[in-house]
Amino acid sequence: MKKILLTLAARTFVLAAFLIILPAPVSQASPASPLERTPESAVTPSEKSRHAGFMRQIKSGNGDFDFVLIGDSITDFWQRSAPAPAGNDSYSRFAPWKPLDLGVSGETTDEVLWRLLNGELDGIHPKVVMIMIGTNNLGIYPSEKPEWVAAGIKKIIETVRAKQPQAKILLLAIFPRGATSTDVIRQRVDEVNKLLPVLADDKNVFFMDIGPKFLDPQGNLPRENMPDLLHPNADGYRIWIEAVRPKLEELMGSPLAPAASTAPLPAPVPSSSPSPKTLSK
């Protein structure tokens, strides 16, 4: 009996020692959660997608790009015929400036930063860089604060300035999204945009808010220009290019190619459609 008791005591000791060295379970509220953000998230470079393809494009073009576009799917879709919507008829007007579109669908400020810090601004010498980024920070991450997004945009500008000091930067306010001005994400976008003008010095960095160009007089976002209330269609891209054309031509020192059609741009019309479920790009 004494031997049995000693054996049980030994086994109990070993089990207790084993439990002591087991790692503690990870809390579901851990900051490692994919949707949990901190003030550092928007400014910490993180890898996501398509970097190798851009590097091949830069190499095959011998770095000969005078105009660079940086952004997410709103920028990405401008040059592409798929996925729809696309604005190829207006994007082709950039041809005299040898454009390089570095927009990637779904990206946030931190993912753009990773790409810029890992070669996509190396070996090129653009005259102008146009930036429009940040809506995915808000649409994907409910915990993201406007000041974090603005800090990410500021970091992108600083990165472009450091790597391309000769380039002028045209920073655009984040485009409106959602059907009406009461849309929650629209309101958060507005909060970010209020923080952006101070990032411009009107010497090397210039700021424009062309968002009102997409809205009707009541402040609604018509589906005629943004069918999903987030991404421009061909008409929306034509509104975009005409809104920035004077400033870009001034900074580039040369004109865009003429428009393929002289038909007037569609006027925004009232939209009674309700805001759909939040979309991300």
72, 101, 110, 231: which one is catalytic? 231
Residue 102, beta-bridge partner list: 70
Q: Which secondary-structure segment (H or E) carries 128? A: strand 128-132
Report the distance separating Cα 101 and Cα 53, nearest Å: 12
73, 90, 105, 271: which one is catalytic? 73
pLDDT tens-digit readout, 59-90: 999 999 999 999 999 999 998 754 445 678 89
Q: Which domain holds residue 125?
A: 53-252
Q: Which secondary-structure segment (H or E) carries 75? A: helix 73-76
Q: 217: cis peptide before it, omega within 30°?
A: no
Q: Is residue 267 part of a domain?
A: no
Q: Is the pLDDT of residue 273 over 80?
A: no
Percentage, residues of the chain above pLDDT 70: 77
29-33, 109-113, 236-240: range with lowest mean pLDDT: 29-33
Return the pLDDT at 41: 87
Assign 47 a pLDDT band (cuts: 50, 70, 90): low
Q: Is residue 93 part of a domain?
A: yes
SS3 content of the chain, % helix, strand, coil (to 5): 45, 10, 50
Are 151 and 90 spatial neighbours (Cβ–Cβ below 8 Å)?
Answer: no
Instruction: Mark whether 51 is an active-site residue.
Output: no
Are 252 and 127 spatial neighbours (Cβ–Cβ below 8 Å)?
Answer: yes
Q: Is residue 264 part of a domain?
A: no
Strands 168-172, 67-71: pairing kind: unpaired
Going by C-alpha positions, the residue among 160, 167, 174 that lies closest to residue 67 is 167
Number of domains the chain is built from:
1
Instruction: Mark whether 273 is an active-site residue.
Output: no
Q: Provide mean pLDDT across the span 230-256.
A: 97
Are 75 and 101 spatial neighbours (Cβ–Cβ below 8 Å)?
Answer: yes
64, 122, 201, 228: which one is catalytic? 228
Going by C-alpha positions, the residue among 110, 128, 33, 98 that lies closest to residue 72 is 110
Are 248 and 170 spatial neighbours (Cβ–Cβ below 8 Å)?
Answer: yes
Q: Is residue 7 part of a domain?
A: no
For residue 200, the domain's CATH number is 3.40.50.1110
Instruction: Mark whether 228 is an active-site residue.
Output: yes
pLDDT tens-digit readout, 147-169: 999 999 999 999 999 999 999 99
Report the distance separating Cα 31 and Cα 6, nearest Å: 46
Report the distance separating Cα 214 and Cα 206, nearest Å: 20
Q: Is residue 1 part of a domain?
A: no
Structure tokens at 41: 């998230």
Q: Is residue 82 part of a domain?
A: yes
Q: Is residue 76 part of a domain?
A: yes
Q: Is residue 24 part of a domain?
A: no
pLDDT tens-digit readout, 193-220: 999 999 999 999 999 999 999 999 999 9
